[in-house]
């Protein structure tokens, strides 16, 4: 991948539910985020918020249920939900080049 990522990594999710996918971090690629607010408006758990420049950041990371609605609708492909299984392919996730 050519682009470099500015991770807004936060402390590990405190989500306790077993069924829930564990979200480790929400990566907002700041260089591509135009601050349209679509991800913030359509997040069912109100995880995301906009900073003073309008760009998205995870405000309540622990509430994220990894529904991927933000990834699905981001017009600029700037947001990635990083779950444990994605980061750790051995645990059944998919590896990324």
In 3D, which of 71, 63, 57 has the Cα closest to residue 13?
Answer: 63
Considering the rule CB under 8 A, would residue 94 count as an interface residue with another protein? yes
Rounded CA-CA distance 75/72 in Å is 8
Which one-letter DSSP state was computed for residue 14? -
In degrees, rounded to 5, the angle at the alpha carbon of residue 73 between the alpha carbons of residues 71 and 53 is 85
Q: Is 76 in the site for another protein (CB under 8 A)?
A: yes
Q: How far is the CB of 68 from another protein (least distance, A)?
A: 5
Q: Which is nearer to another protein, 51 or 68 (CB)?
A: 68
Site string for another protein, 35-74 (x = CB under 8 A): xxxx--xx-------------------------x--xxxx
């Amino acid at each position: 991948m050519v682009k470099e990522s500015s991770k807004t990594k936060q402390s590990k999710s405190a989500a306790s539910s077993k069924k829930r996918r564990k979200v480790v971090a929400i990566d907002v690629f700041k260089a591509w985020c135009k601050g349209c607010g679509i991800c913030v408006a359509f997040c069912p758990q109100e995880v995301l918020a906009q900073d003073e420049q309008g760009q998205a950041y995870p405000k309540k990371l622990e509430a994220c249920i990894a529904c991927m609605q933000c990834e699905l609708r981001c017009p600029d492909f700037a947001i990635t939900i990083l779950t444990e299984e994605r980061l750790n392919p051995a645990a059944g996730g998919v590896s990324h080049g």
